[in-house]
């Protein structure tokens, strides 16, 4: 079982030729809305691969929240621990340029009302996976990590963490480059990795976009190159990576295999619009195309 504790947002996506400068107005090429939030993205992306996923999140008592509940049902995500709060559902504004790069502004809404009392991971087992992020309150993340009985993955996005004790309960930390520099201010990547490896229990997986991934443990450091693709939309690539990593670990892959698998699936995800990952049938076809075997 994969337990995801995190956020849900309604995403409003705006496509532009380029990002505006300070005080500048640019015209959008396209605007559309979709389901988002790191918790929901990761839960749905793991489910699409075939994982059994249980989500803990919060939505508002509005139409957006009602639609989110139906969305998770359709995506075969167990939403029995999703809480409906007396407020508006969270939302996010995402601006995407012609290169597929993005800028994101989030209004947390109901996400901010998710409380430690809403978290129940007491039935988790040693072989289960926890995947959580920082778009919800820090004390909620802390409780989930501390009480979980299996492998615990923290995607520190955003990387605003005041209680450093959190890292004592993290098995695998998965920052991107911006988050990594904020968490481990050091002169170089190697020094930063050594600093973070003293804080977490097992590994740091540093995602670097089109430059691939670095997997670091106390015994080794492995660099995995990104698959070569034409990026259309990088929104949610990190969420797809984390979901795929959790899925692979839950299926019994070792950490090296799981990171390689997640790296490739995230590469496939940026060739399509939206923040949600591909289904396993698409993954299998893509792996055949790039001459890569699923472990």
Q: Which residues are annotated as a binding site for ATP?
A: 176, 207-212, 238-239, 263
Q: What is the total residue count of the chain?
A: 295
Q: What is the CA radius of gyration of the chain?
A: 18
Neighbouring residues of 208: CB distance < 8 A, sequence distance ≥ 6: 176, 177, 214, 226
Q: Could you tell me which of 263, 156, 167, 160 has the C-alpha nearest to residue 215? A: 263
Calpha distance 256→150 (Å, rounded): 18
Catalytic hit among 239, 254, 256, 281: 239
Annotated binding residues, as ranges? 9-11, 37-41, 135, 176, 207-212, 233, 235, 238-239, 263, 269, 272, 274
Q: Which residues, listed in sequence order, are joined to residue 5 by a DSSP beta bridge?
A: 56, 132
Question: Does the active-site annotation cover 22?
Answer: no
What distances in angstroms separate CA 57 from CA 79, 141, 146, 224, one per listed residue? 8, 11, 18, 32
CA 235/CA 218 separation, integer angstroms = 31
The tokens for 259 are: 């990171």
- 13-16 contacts: CB < 8 A, separation 24 or more? 13/94, 13/95, 13/96, 13/235, 14/93, 14/94, 14/95, 14/96, 15/96, 15/97, 16/95, 16/96, 16/97, 16/98
**Where in the sequence numbering do the catalytic residues fall?**
239
């Amino acid at each position: 079982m994969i337990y995801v504790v995190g956020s849900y947002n309604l995403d409003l996506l705006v496509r532009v030729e380029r990002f505006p400068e300070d005080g500048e107005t640019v015209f959008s090429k396209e605007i559309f809305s979709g389901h988002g939030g790191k918790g929901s993205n990761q839960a749905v992306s793991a489910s699409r691969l075939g994982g059994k996923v249980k989500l803990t999140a919060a939505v508002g008592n509005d139409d957006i929240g009602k639609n989110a509940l139906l969305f998770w049902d359709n995506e075969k995500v167990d939403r029995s621990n999703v809480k409906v709060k007396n407020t508006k559902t969270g939302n996010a504004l995402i601006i995407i340029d012609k290169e597929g790069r993005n800028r994101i502004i989030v209004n947390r809404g109901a996400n901010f009302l998710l409380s430690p009392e809403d978290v129940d991971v007491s039935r988790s087992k040693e072989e289960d996976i926890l995947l959580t992020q920082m778009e919800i309150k820090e004390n909620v993340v802390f409780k989930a990590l501390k009480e979980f009985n299996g492998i615990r993955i923290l995607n520190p996005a955003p990387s605003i963490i005041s209680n450093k004790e959190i890292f004592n309960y993290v098995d695998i930390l998965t920052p991107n480059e911006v988050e990594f520099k904020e968490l481990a201010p050091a002169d170089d990547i190697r020094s930063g990795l050594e600093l973070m490896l003293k804080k977490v229990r097992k590994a740091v997986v540093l995602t670097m976009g089109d430059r691939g991934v670095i997997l670091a443990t106390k015994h080794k450091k492995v660099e995995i190159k990104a698959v070569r693709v034409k990026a259309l939309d990088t929104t949610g690539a990190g969420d797809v990576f984390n979901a795929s990593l959790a899925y692979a670990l839950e299926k019994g892959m070792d950490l090296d295999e799981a990171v390689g698998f997640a790296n490739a699936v995230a590469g496939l995800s940026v060739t399509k619009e939206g923040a949600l990952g591909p289904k396993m049938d698409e993954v299998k076809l893509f792996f055949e195309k790039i001459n890569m075997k699923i472990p």
